[in-house]
């Protein structure tokens, strides 16, 4: 490089940096048409026969047959409905105050999907999380809002975006997008075991699964030369869903650094309502802090939940939990009434649509849902390109 060119290169370098920053901040709204056309869960949230929710509505205390059955349900769902997703189980054992020195097994379930061209250590993943274990007492507790329903919502959301994700990545490949310049954006769902205390909530008697997973992902090294050193640092945002499925939830924003993501979710909530796409009758916003800026959030000690072992390691957290100081947790929290019959199914469905839309925006899937003008345009362009390519071939 000659001295005279330094200025030009300097400018180019700044441009390049700006481009990289833009890519890092990317989050693209979906259109009203797409929002209205997102797939619905229909009968899959039926509490007796629904393909997604009903198999989770049973006691699933860690180490019991109920827990294994639910784990199998997750694995079957991804293997049959979303076969391109990578499934992992992360195992640990621990004694509990009631296990009489016996080790109890805890199994976390992880399903992830990365761009097909990306190396595993170069992918940042939107990480959507709920716990699937149920509390030991009261005996027979189902834990529908805690957290069977959130698990089903996440299954529906991933099923709803999978096809668009596939189309987007295929189109990028076809259009010859230089994938080495692209940010590698993936997505994963984590169903955690052992969130509940067996006796009384303490640091030792709670969060068995999340403590084990956070430590494991912090200690595991990605391949050499990866963009991210560990699977833990590959988490772009950790979205934790807990205690969702009761009517008129109140969701506060807890963290300044992720308030922008909270506001994006809040704006989707507002749009769903104004487009009359919400089934639940509530007119009050659930995401009550959406109109505030990040400096106006009330400092809160925070709620003890599965995000803590990740938060302690510097992971960005969005905690979606139905709680407010004036009302506490939902009425059915930790009592035997927390079963399928006490779910507000309209609210459960609305949540599942909201999470679907958020994931679609995060993964920038506008135009890949196969209904919109943009999708048609993109398809037309592809056909045109294909024609040109074929013509060239015949000319040759
Ligand atoms: Zn609980």
For residue 19, is it within any domain?
yes
| pLDDT score of 22 more than 50 | no
pTM of the complete model: 0.89
- Calculate how far, in angstroms, residue 215's C-alpha sits from the geometric centre of ligand 1: 22
Kindly report the CATH number assigned to the domain that includes residue 33.
3.40.630.10
For residue 3, is it within any domain?
no
Structure-token match 């700006």, residue found: 18
Cis check: omega of the bond before 315, within 30 degrees of 0: no
**Catalytic residue (choose from 193, 195, 269, 306):** 195
Instruction: For residue 125, list its beta bridge partners.
Output: 186, 235
Domain tally, the chain: 1
**Bridge pairing between strands 317-321 and 235-242:** parallel
For residue 258, is it within any domain?
yes
Residue 380's domain spans which residues?
8-395
| pLDDT score of 386 more than 60 | no
- Here the tokens at position 92 are 């640990």
Task: Describe the strand order of the beta sheet including 86-94 as a list of residue ranges.
Answer: 86-94, 104-113, 185-192, 124-131, 235-242, 317-321
Helix (H, G, I), strand (E, B) or coil at 240: strand
For residue 163, is it within any domain?
yes
Spell 266-278 as b/e; 16+ CB within 10 A means b.
bebbebbbeeebb
Highest mean pLDDT (candidates 186-190, 372-376, 387-391):
186-190
- Here the tokens at position 249 are 């939830």
- Calculate how far, in angstroms, residue 52's C-alpha sits from the geometric centre of ligand 1: 21
**Catalytic residue (choose from 114, 242, 269, 289):** 242
Instruction: For residue 188, list its beta bridge partners.
Output: 112, 127
| 368 or 179, higher pLDDT | 368
316 among known catalytic residues? no
CA atoms within 13 A on the CB side of 107: 20
Cis check: omega of the bond before 147, within 30 degrees of 0: yes
349 among known catalytic residues? no
- Calculate how far, in angstroms, residue 195's C-alpha sits from the geometric centre of ligand 1: 7
For residue 82, is it within any domain?
yes
- Here the tokens at position 72 are 């199998």
- Which pLDDT band holds residue 14 (cuts at 50, 70, 90)? very low
For residue 2, is it within any domain?
no
- Calculate how far, in angstroms, residue 232's C-alpha sits from the geometric centre of ligand 1: 25
pLDDT in tens, 226-248: 999 999 999 999 999 999 999 99
For residue 73, is it within any domain?
yes
- Which pLDDT band holds residue 301 (cuts at 50, 70, 90)? low
Per 3-state DSSP, the chain is made up of helix, strand and coil in percentages (nearest 5) of 40, 15, 45
Helices H, strands E: what count in the chain? 9, 6
- Calculate how far, in angstroms, residue 134's C-alpha sits from the geometric centre of ligand 1: 7
- Calculate how far, in angstroms, residue 135's C-alpha sits from the geometric centre of ligand 1: 6
**Bridge pairing between strands 86-94 and 124-131:** unpaired
Mean pLDDT of 298-317: 91
DSSP 316-363: -EEEEEB-BTTTBS-TTTTSTT-SGGGS-HHHHHHHHHHHHHHHHHHT
């Amino acid at each position: 490089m000659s001295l005279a060119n330094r200025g030009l290169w300097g400018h180019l370098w700044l441009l390049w940096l700006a481009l990289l920053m833009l890519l890092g901040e990317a989050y693209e709204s979906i259109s009203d048409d797409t929002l209205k056309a997102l797939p619905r869960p229909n009968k899959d949230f039926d509490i007796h026969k629904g393909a997604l929710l009903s198999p989770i509505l049973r006691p699933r205390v860690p180490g019991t047959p109920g827990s294994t059955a639910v784990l199998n349900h997750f694995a079957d769902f991804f293997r049959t409905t979303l076969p391109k997703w990578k499934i992992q189980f992360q195992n640990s054992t621990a004694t509990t105050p009631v296990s009489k020195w016996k080790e109890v097994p805890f199994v976390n379930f992880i399903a992830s999907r990365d761009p097909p061209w990306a190396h595993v250590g170069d992918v940042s993943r939107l990480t959507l999380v709920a716990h699937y274990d149920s509390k030991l007492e009261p005996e027979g507790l189902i834990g529908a809002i805690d957290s069977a329903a959130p698990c089903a919502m996440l299954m529906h959301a991933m099923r709803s975006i999978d096809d668009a994700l596939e189309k987007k990545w295929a189109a990028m490949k076809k259009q010859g997008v230089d994938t080495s310049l692209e940010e590698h954006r993936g997505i994963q769902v984590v169903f955690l075991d052992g969130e509940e205390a067996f006796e009384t909530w303490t640091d030792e008697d709670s969060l068995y699964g999340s403590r084990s997973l956070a430590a494991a992902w912090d200690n595991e090294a990605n391949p050499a030369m990866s963009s991210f050193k560990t699977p833990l640092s590959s988490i772009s945002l950790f979205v934790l869903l807990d205690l969702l499925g009761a009517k008129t939830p109140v969701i506060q924003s807890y963290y300044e650094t992720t308030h922008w993501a909270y506001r994006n979710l809040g704006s989707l909530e507002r749009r769903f309502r104004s487009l009359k796409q919400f089934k639940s009758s509530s007119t009050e916003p659930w995401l009550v802090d959406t109109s505030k800026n990040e400096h106006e959030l009330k400092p809160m000690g925070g709620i003890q939940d599965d995000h803590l072992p990740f938060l302690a390691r510097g992971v960005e957290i969005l905690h979606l939990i139905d709680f407010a100081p004036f009302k506490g947790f939902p009425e059915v929290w930790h009592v035997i009434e927390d079963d399928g019959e006490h779910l507000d199914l309209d609210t459960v469905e609305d949540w599942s649509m909201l999470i679907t839309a958020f994931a679609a925006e995060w993964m920038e899937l506008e135009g890949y849902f196969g209904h919109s003008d943009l999708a048609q345009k993109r398809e037309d362009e592809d056909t045109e390109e294909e024609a040109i390519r074929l013509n060239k071939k015949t000319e040759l």
